Amino acid sequence: MGSFHTELLTSRIRGVQVTVVNDFVQAKSEEVAARIGARVVADPIEAIKDPAVDAVLLATPGSTHAEQVDACLDARKPVLCEKPLTTDVGSSYAIVQKQAALGVELIQVGFMRRFDAEYAALRELIAAGGLGSPLMVHCTHRNPAVPDHFNSEFMIRDSVVHEVDVARFLLDEEIVSVQVIKGLATSVAPAGTSDPMLVIFEMASGAIVTDEISVRTGVAYEVRTEVVGESGSALIGLDQNLQVKSTDGRWGGAITPGFVQRFGQAYAVELQRWVDAAKSGAIDGPGAWDGYAAVAVCEAGVRAVNTGAKVTVELGERPAPTGGHIAPDLEGDRP
């Protein structure tokens, strides 16, 4: 993801220059830096503190996020942190509190689906009352293939986390409990991995969200969401690419192979808006609280997988929004 974002920042995003690259695989950072004319800084905290860095994009392993996001707060630099915010609820909440105490909003979490045109339109429709009160949301999340380390727990933390954020984004309320139903596993899943699973969220209003998560279908990247309201329903993610009808009497269309093809444009919108906001020391997207809530729901989801029980989501108190900005130390000669 780091080199994917670097590529995007360099080729498609206006008003930004990648000045410093860090990766725990040194050869990788050297290769990426050489391609885009950036400098390698071998230590991640030094890279964050580097004077040539005004804002930080973290696509490092989740287990390093707590320390690195903390360093961004200390340096008062806007940070776009790929999910998860951190790998445990305690450190995520500590970050929420630290940011609130600083009176700023510097942390954005990389839930790119919020920047997808279909998800944005669906949220607007719901907010405008176009479906009446939402009662149910049905999500389908299918990946064609994943590596073997994708066990049931990883499927919750890495894949279902997207529907956690989608549910909160679309319905604008918190998830209060999680339940996971494991059925018959596909024969291609490693022993002990429940693939597919049906995950059920209960929202604060009582609305229900279902999520079918399947990560080894061997077919395509399929992400669909249907919202059922009191006065209508709406569906996105039909994957209607080019449809072809030919003289041999056949018709068909291309399927979407992966998340880059499905959400590539959403990533570009996410990065452009983040860069624009970072110039005034702000964010423009899901913040630290959203990242923390997602970690808390996934934690409950993992307990639900392991126990078979319906698990309540416990959230700490939400700090009042500060809306504080930090004027970044932009040098005039950089874009």
- Give the footprint of ligand ISE on this chain (CB under 6 A): 143, 158-159, 162, 215, 259
> Nearer to ligand ISE by C-beta: 105 or 222?
222
CB of 298 to ligand ISE, least distance (A): 12
> Nearer to ligand ISE by C-beta: 176 or 220?
220
Q: Are 235 and 132 in contact (CB under 8 A)?
A: no
The residue count for the chain? 335
Q: What CA–CA distance (Å, rounded) separates 79 from 102?
A: 15
The residue whose two tokens read 């220059």 is 17
Angle at 120 between CA 114 and CA 125, to 5 degrees: 140
CB of 327 to ligand ISE, least distance (A): 33
CB of 84 to ligand ISE, least distance (A): 10
Task: For strands 56-58 and 79-81, give the pairing.
Answer: parallel
> Nearer to ligand ISE by C-beta: 101 or 117?
117
> Nearer to ligand ISE by C-beta: 162 or 168?
162
Helix (H) or strand (E) holding 280, with range, is none
Q: What CA–CA distance (Å, rounded) separates 64 from 43?
A: 12
CB of 160 to ligand ISE, least distance (A): 8
> Nearer to ligand ISE by C-beta: 77 or 141?
141
> Nearer to ligand ISE by C-beta: 259 or 265?
259
> Nearer to ligand ISE by C-beta: 153 or 158?
158
> Nearer to ligand ISE by C-beta: 98 or 138?
138
Phi-psi region of 201 (alpha: psi -120 to 50; beta: other; left: phi over 0): beta
CB of 316 to ligand ISE, least distance (A): 26
CB of 236 to ligand ISE, least distance (A): 15
Q: What CA–CA distance (Å, rounded) separates 302 from 331?
A: 46
Helix (H) or strand (E) holding 19, with range, is none
> Nearer to ligand ISE by C-beta: 93 or 115?
115
Q: What CA–CA distance (Å, rounded) separates 18 from 5?
A: 10
CB of 143 to ligand ISE, least distance (A): 5
Helix (H, G, I), strand (E, B), or coil: what is residue 137? strand
Residue type at position 283 = I
Bridge partner residues of 213 (DSSP) = 141, 197
Residue sitting closest to ligand ISE (CB): 159
Q: What CA–CA distance (Å, rounded) separates 236 from 178?
A: 23
Q: What CA–CA distance (Å, rounded) separates 17 from 11?
A: 10
Tokens of 243: 């449809």
CB of 157 to ligand ISE, least distance (A): 9
C-alpha closest to that of 299 among 319, 318, 313 = 313
CB of 162 to ligand ISE, least distance (A): 6
